[in-house]
Structure formats: C-alpha cells, structure tokens
Copies of this chain bind each other. A is one copy, B any other.
Amino acid sequence: MNILVTLDQNYLRHAQVMLFSLLVNNPGERVCLYLISDDVQEDDLAPLRRVCDAFGATARLLHVDADWFLDAPTMRYYSRAMYYRLLAWQVLPQELDRILYLDPDILVIGPLAALYGMPLGDRLFAAAIHKGIIDLSGPVNRIRLAAYESDGYFNSGVLLMDLQRARREMKPEDIFRFVRENKSMLLLPDQDILNGLYGERIAPIDETLYNYDARKFREYLLASQGERDMDWVMTHTSILHFCGKRKPWNAHMGRFAALYKHYAALAARYAGERQ
C-alpha cells in the first residue's frame, strides 16, 4: 500500500499521527510512505522512521526539482507546493502504479484495503464528495465550478490515484493553464483544480466511510435517520478528516477530540518523543 503526503515541516508531526493511526489500524499491510516536501530534511524524519520501524513500514522522502515548475503560475499565499499532490506522478518512482494521498489532518480508524484496491476503470482518481461544506450559491463559486456540473464538490484530502493513467493522460501544462485562466476564482487551489479540470475523471467514494468530516457528526446522523451513530462510525468509518480551521491538535472539544489527542500522544511515544 503506497501512501503519499505532501507537506511542509510544520505539518510533519501531524502527518506522523496520521501515519501511526494508519499502521495500527491496518496490521498486516506492507505500507510504503512517500513524502514530498520542500523543507523537510532527511534528519527530520528520525521520529517518523521509528514509527515505521515498529510496524515494518518504510518511508521515503522525495524532493521536487525546481526546474519542473518554471512554467507554473504562482498565486499569492500559495507556494508551488500546491501542485505536488496532483503532479506527484512526476516525482514518484516509475514502478508505482497506484498511491493513496492523505491529508495530514486525518486520522485513520479502520482498514483501507477496500479503498486502496477499488477498481478505478478509466478514472484517474477516487475521492469523496463533501456535500454542503462549500457554499455553491455565491457568484464566485458559481463561476468557479461552472465547468463542472455536479451535485457536489470532491474533497481532495483523500485521493486515490492511478499513477499509470496519470502518467499517460495528465499534463502539467493543463494544470498550469487552468490556474492561469482561473486564478482570480481559485479559493482552494488544489481542490479547485481537481474539481474543475478532473471532476469527470473521479470515481466517487462514500464520504462517511473514507472521508468523514469530523465536524459533521450530527449532519451524518440526521441524514441517515439515526443509523450513523457513534457505534456505526466506529465500526464502519476508516478515515476521519478534521476539516476546517479548528484542528484537533489545537484546543478542540469536538466529539472526536479525545480520540485524536490520544493518537497524537501514542504516536509521539512510538516515535520516541515522549515517555
């Protein structure tokens, strides 16, 4: 199982929690983690490697050649790193045919084998639609998503990628052009690119299973007429995603705060950072 994270140094410790939770919840899987970063150095990875060692997983740090982004338009607030997720196939070893990208603000709480092995057909990606989080009624958003007629908006935080197909069919120029043409309307660049340019090429996955928005317990419960209660979540959901500004590593008293903070402490212990 190949896992991808793209991050800067500030998020490394959160990615470590995500990775630890993935490993505890997927015993028996051979996990290879690929990290793409501009500022993380090999030395920074010692704690994360101790987590890997405890579970027989491997981690490999990849750097991106600056030349590859000479043609990339930049946007205020965003570095070229915003491209790493969608262009990871350029940097990843050629022999990899599939990889699962995961945001660092994720907690894996169940098995990932079914997601990882799902048939993609002729799609490039699999991702979950997050309903109702983005307000689609505003003028900016209507324009922004005009090209993509859909009843939802794919969240790019959990993204299964067919790398072989991506190498054949994706072109950096397409992405750079899309950014150039829509620059003023992109609010969440990587996610907007994914939806705007590749919305039709994404196989949908169930958000309550693989991209559960940790803010939306009540909404999921109501929408399922009471079925998706805490017992359901804890026996069915595999990926909890702490979307939004309030992160569980800061003060955060949501229903899943204790669970996240416990994993953070436990990961730190496995990483040798705490008693």
Contacts and interface: CB of A to CB of B under 8 A. Distances in A.
Interface in A238-260: 251, 253, 255-259
Contacts of A24: 24, 266
A54 interface: yes
Contact of A231 (B54, B261, B269, B275): B261
B265 A234 contact: yes
Interface in A92-132: 109-111
Interface size of A as a range: 20 to 34
Contacts of A256: 258
Max chain B Cβ within 10 angstroms of own Cβ: one of A253, A256, A264, A265 = A265
Interface string A147-168: 0000000000000000000000
A66 to B, nearest CB: 39
A141 B231 CA distance: 38
A139 B138 CA distance: 68
Nearest to A248: B230
A266 B223 CA distance: 26
A251 B257 CA distance: 19
A270 interface: yes
Given A24-B24, A27-B270, A111-B275, A258 B261 contact: no
B230 A258 contact: yes
Nearest to A24: B24
B109 A235 contact: no
B264 A234 contact: yes
Contacts of A264: 234
Nearest to A113: B275
Among A251, A253, A261, max chain B CB count under 10 A is at A261
A262 interface: yes
Given A109-B266, A229-B251, A233-B261, 18 more contacts: A24-B24, A25-B266, A27-B54, A110-B265, A111-B269, A230-B257, A230-B258, A230-B261, A231-B261, A234-B261, A234-B265, A235-B261, A235-B265, A255-B257, A256-B258, A258-B258, A259-B259, A259-B262
- Which 10 pairs across A and B sit closest by C-beta, in order of nearness? A234-B261, A258-B259, A259-B259, A234-B265, A235-B265, A234-B262, A256-B258, A109-B262, A230-B257, A230-B261
